[in-house]
Amino acid sequence: MPITITMPALSPTMTEGKLANWQVKEGESVSSGDVLAEIETDKATMEVEAVDEGVLGKILIDGGTDNVAVNTPIAILLEEGEDQSALDNYSPDGAPSAGSSQTEDKPAVSEEKPASEKPIKQSGGSPNAKAAEGGRVFASPLARRIASNEGVDVADIDGTGPRGRVIKADVEAFVKSGGAAARKPDAKVEDSAKAGGTTAQSTASSGPVATTPPHAGEHEEIPLNGMRKTIAKRLTEAKQTIPHFYLTVECELDNLLSMRKDLNARGDDYKISVNDFVIRASALALKKLPEANAIWGGDKILQYKDIDIAVAVAVDGGLITPVVRTADQKGLASISNEMKSLAGKAKDGKLMPEEYQGGCFSISNLGMFGIKEFSAVINPPQSAILAVGAGEQRPVIRDGAVAVATVMSVTLSCDHRVIDGAVGAELLKYFKGYIEEPLTMML
């Protein structure tokens, strides 16, 4: 029987995306693992791999179509031995159509609810992934890999793919629903939101609001892309629901700049930036003050063991924050090379979800644009973000005399529900110490 291919959920927050293009044409054969199409989400462009083997019988959604809801049928795959005649009495939900009730060439597509409101459903599937009690469990390679990373057994997951196969969306839904005993922190955060907390999933104060132009002058209307819609929603939510407060400190950079020059002269395997020092110093400061490495969980505070630092990267059409995992355990050269790789992927739209999701702390550096000082908006569900200004020569007082030093202003935005003023001040004290005495970062 033909298999319906549906719009996949490529991240826990995705409800729709743009079907950028098809990599396979109608009538072409595909094997498991072949790239079928490219999907643009609010964060990146990602490749969708085939789960089953067969022939692409019919494309239901053309390449370049925007706002395709998750679970919408996008194509039909013919299995081995089937030809185009198999489509005559087949509808996207996997059930034979009554006679020729379809009035158009394309099968009718029923309205789909967002993925967050109902389980992922894919035609041809059964509600049980197990072929028989104690028998083989059918699951895609990608689903097995994600399940292994999440610490769950695919045998515990009901498959909604073709013939009950467990697919990626099933694993993600299983983890999100709390069915897994060994769940990652992000899943816990989502559960906390349901109990009254604030996370990226929160529906409070949505996104763009239509307004009339301020005057009748000539203007250009620019449609919002997925990334801009997400930025609008999340940052509106942040300012309306997170009680921000701000702390600013000035750091002298002369010792750091001298060490950076010396390190970069030692070889060509790395080129360390001031931002790499900032990432390292932030991670070490959080390690000294673990109570700041936490987020708001509604009726609790979730304090994390790993120190993952998100770094804002400007891309076409918006902003994205790739994450340097366990940054406190990495040296400057490692952080530098990893950041260059992540920033390159971000600008090319090739980041994977695991490369930009998570983290409790963000860094936004506008110093390269000459900005002296600014305050950044917290990226929910995180609890703090460090705004980094430009290093510039300023007069300072040393031993009662005026001297000149290279000074950088940084402003820490804190969620007062998680971080009190004294904790935020102590975090900046540690950060300033590492920046002004960079040798201590090497210990």
Q: What residues act catalytically? A: 416
Q: Which of 185, 355, 360, 389 is nearest to 286 (CA)?
A: 360
Burial class (CB in 10 A: 0-12, 13-18, 19+), 82: middle
Instruction: Give the whole-angstrom CA distance, residue 440 versus residue 443.
Output: 6
Burial class (CB in 10 A: 0-12, 13-18, 19+), 136: exposed
Check if the beta carbon of residue 195 is closer than 8 Å to that of residue 298: yes
Check if the beta carbon of residue 201 is closer than 8 Å to that of residue 116: yes
Instruction: Give the whole-angstrom CA distance, residue 198 versus residue 412.
Output: 20
Instruction: Give the whole-angstrom CA distance, residue 143 versus residue 163.
Output: 15
75 backbone φψ class: left, alpha, beta (φ>0; ψ -120 to 50): beta
Residues in the chain: 443
For residue 265, give both structure tokens. Answer: 């002269």
Q: Which of 182, 184, 183, 174 is nearest to 129 (CA)?
A: 174
Q: Which of 137, 195, 187, 193 is nearest to 166 (CA)?
A: 137
Q: Which of 314, 310, 274 is nearest to 382 (CA)?
A: 310
Q: Please report how many Cα atoms fall inside a 13 Å half-sphere around the Cα of residue 238, on the Cβ side.
A: 22
The DSSP symbol for 233 reads H
The answer to whether the Cα torsion of 370, 373, 374, 375 is positive or negative is positive
Cis before 290 (ω within 30): no
Check if the beta carbon of residue 60 is closer than 8 Å to that of residue 107: yes
